[in-house]
């Protein structure tokens, strides 16, 4: 897995998703299928997009008791995807269970990463609502360290934290980073945000980009702008 841009396919139907993908005649973007599309269309959308040759991050952010997550991951292992995720807040026991559940008959498995703190969370929310009274960057590092100790392949964090995560957990520990906006872009509900160029400078392995591409007037041009800034 090299440095790449992952396009978040946050659409509510197969038709809209495939129409969007049809615009890409020259590239085959790495894509993310999240809750909106998966809950609307089910596993068949994963198969269909895979059959078109895309790499897939299946972003369902599992967070439950260890036994439930293990069984759910066993079911998801049947899908041919490259990357899946859980919430690190489920604890090390839950992350270990997720890893144990992720086994295919041929011995392969998708990479497993953990969401540290959502990029839509800021310091104020962390303290006042979640009652975690620590600097958010330290919380991200702590969760990343637990994920690394239990054997996960990486984390989801803001690009702003990618460098520190690599320093603590090693350069091969993946940093998959949403919270990406062009310098002139609308931030929306995201809080810990930076540009594709800055994400590259900070050492992110993958940026996850949704609305700046999907809602752009010219999505292919927006995707190319991301690739040019991030991959070079």
Ligand X SMILES: O=C(O)c1cc(=O)[nH]c(=O)n1[C@@H]1O[C@H](COP(=O)(O)O)[C@@H](O)[C@H]1O
The catalytic site residues sit at 59, 61, 64
Query: Footprint of ligand X on residues 164-203 (CB under 6 A)?
Result: 178, 190
User: Is residue 59 annotated as involved in ligand binding?
Assistant: yes
User: Is residue 60 annotated as involved in ligand binding?
Assistant: yes
Residues in the chain: 232
Query: Footprint of ligand X on residues 85-144 (CB under 6 A)?
Result: 85, 115, 118-119
> How far apart are the C-alpha atoms of 175 and 93, rounded to whole Å?
21
- Choice from 5, 7, 10, 144 touching ligand X (CB under 6 A): 10
Q: Which positions from 150 to 169 touch ligand X by CB under 6 A, shown as an x/- string?
A: ------x-------------
Q: Is 74 exposed, middle or buried (0-12, 13-18, 19+ CB in 10 A)?
A: middle
Task: Report in angstroms how near the CB of residue 159 gets to ligand X at its nearest.
Answer: 11
Query: Footprint of ligand X on residues 14-73 (CB under 6 A)?
Result: 34, 59, 61
Q: For residue 53, what are the contacts with CB-CB under 8 A and spacing of at least 6? A: 28
Do residues 196 and 5 touch, judged by C-beta distance below 8 A? yes
Q: For residue 88, what are the contacts with CB-CB under 8 A and spacing of at least 6? A: 95, 114, 115, 116, 143, 144, 146, 147, 155
**Token code pair at residue 78:** 């049947």
Annotated binding residues for substrate, as ranges? 10, 32, 59-68, 119, 181, 190, 210-211
Residues in contact with ligand X by the rule CB under 6 A: 8, 10, 34, 59, 61, 85, 115, 118-119, 156, 178, 190, 208-212
């Amino acid at each position: 897995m090299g440095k790449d841009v992952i396009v978040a396919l946050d659409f509510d139907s197969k038709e809209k998703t495939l129409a969007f993908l049809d615009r890409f005649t020259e590239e085959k973007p790495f894509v993310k299928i999240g809750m909106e599309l998966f809950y609307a269309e089910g596993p068949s959308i994963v198969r269909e997009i895979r059959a078109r040759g895309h790499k897939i991050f299946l972003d369902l952010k599992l967070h439950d008791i260890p036994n439930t997550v293990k069984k759910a991951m066993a079911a998801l292992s049947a899908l041919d995807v490259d990357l899946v995720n859980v919430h690190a807040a489920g604890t090390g026991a839950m992350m270990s269970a997720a890893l144990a559940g992720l086994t295919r008959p041929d011995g392969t498995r998708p990479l497993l990463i953990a969401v540290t703190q959502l990029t839509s969370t800021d310091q104020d929310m962390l303290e006042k609502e979640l009652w975690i009274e620590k600097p958010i960057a330290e919380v991200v590092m702590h969760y990343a360290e637990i994920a690394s100790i239990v054997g996960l392949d990486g984390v989801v964090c803001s690009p702003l934290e990618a460098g520190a995560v690599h320093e603590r957990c090693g350069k091969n520990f993946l940093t998959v980073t949403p919270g990406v906006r062009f310098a002139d872009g609308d931030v929306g509900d995201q809080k810990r945000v930076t540009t594709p160029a800055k994400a590259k400078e900070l050492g992110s392995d993958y940026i996850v980009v949704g609305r700046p591409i999907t809602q752009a007037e010219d999505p292919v041009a927006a995707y190319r702008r991301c690739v040019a800034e991030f991959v070079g």
